[in-house]
Amino acid sequence: MRCQTNFHSWIILLGIALGLALLFLLSEATPASAYLGCGGEVLAATNSDFEFQLAALVNQARQQAGLPPLKLVETLSQAARYHAADLGAEDYFQHDTYDRSTSDLDWVCAWWQRVEAYYPNFNLLGENIAAGASTPEMALELWMNSDGHRANILAPEFREIGIGYAQADSAYQHYWVQDFSAGDNYPLVIEGEQPSTDSPEVQVYLYGSFSEMRLQVDGGTWSEWMPFINSFTWELPALSGEHTLSAEMRSPNASAASQDSIFLEVVDVNPYPDPLPQPEPAPECPSHRLYFPLVTQ
């Protein structure tokens, strides 16, 4: 009787141990979502090329409509990246932020509250989301074919944009978010937010309405004060690498500063600046003819 009781006790203990091990393995295999709450977590870009490409495409569309370019702002992109990642991880498609518990979605906060967690100082906000588009071109096409989304992209009031992209093993696989803003700042935009250029002469747009401005490249000497204009060209040093253009603007009752950076890839059009050495002329040979014997079998 005592041996029988010990045997059953060991069986029960073994079952408990196996059950705990199974629960541990399940919890490791299906971790809780990392995207809980109303944003605030800073995520690195999963595809920075896609972000830059989409920003450039948006500014091309705005240029065609006669509008100034939008400045790509990191804090807005952080808000957009978080939401794109959250949409994929929680498998939903809404502007507002939700957390998923089992099969249910629990509302967490309004979309603008999530953006505010990253970008608190704004006067105006807008947002576009898209899913299923595998390239920046496809995402922009979806938005431009929708009146409401197109209105955000071409809104003259907006000055800045943030872009987030995420790929996930969920319903739509590809998730895109654009966050737009207008604040009390005056962005400077080089080459429509292209990440790089091969020409030292760059096109610049500077927001605002001031009396004068002056410019500085790479922390060097400031230019003389000159009449303020919004759109102009400027010459960067003809050296490969990242260059930063800074601007200071002033009026009798106001002043501001702004800057932007771009990577310059200098293309050497003449990789051989010195003449190539010419081969020595071959010595003249007597005019001989050489006949190879024919071989037959």
Structure pTM? 0.79
Strands 104-109 and 124-131: unpaired
- What pLDDT, on the 0 to 100 scale, is given for residue 102? 76
Tokens 């401005």 sit at which residue?
213
Look at residue 288 in the predicted model and tell me its pLDDT: 36
Which residues contact residue 235 at a Cβ distance below 8 angstroms, ignoring those fewer than 6 apart?
A: 200, 201, 202
Q: At what angle do helices 136-144 and 48-64 cross, to 10 degrees?
A: 40
Contact 127, 152 (CB under 8 A): yes
Rounded to 5 degrees, φ, ψ at 161 are: -145, 145
Question: In the β-sheet with 254-264, what is the strand arrangement from edge to edge?
Answer: 196-197, 254-264, 241-251, 212-217, 226-227
CB 76 within 8 A of CB 128: no
pLDDT score for 101? 80
Q: Which residues pair with 188 in a beta bridge?
A: 206
Encode pLDDT of 115-165 as tens digits.
Answer: 999 999 899 999 999 999 999 999 999 999 999 999 999 999 999 999 999
Where the chain has pLDDT below 70, the residues are 1-34, 268-297
pLDDT at 222: 98
Pairing of strands 254-264, 196-197: parallel
Q: What is the pLDDT of residues 53-66, one digit of tens each?
A: 999 999 999 999 99
Give 62-114 as a DSSP string: HHHTT-PPPEE-HHHHHHHHHHHHHHHHHT---SSEEEEETTEEEEEE-HHHH
* pLDDT in the model for residue 35: 78
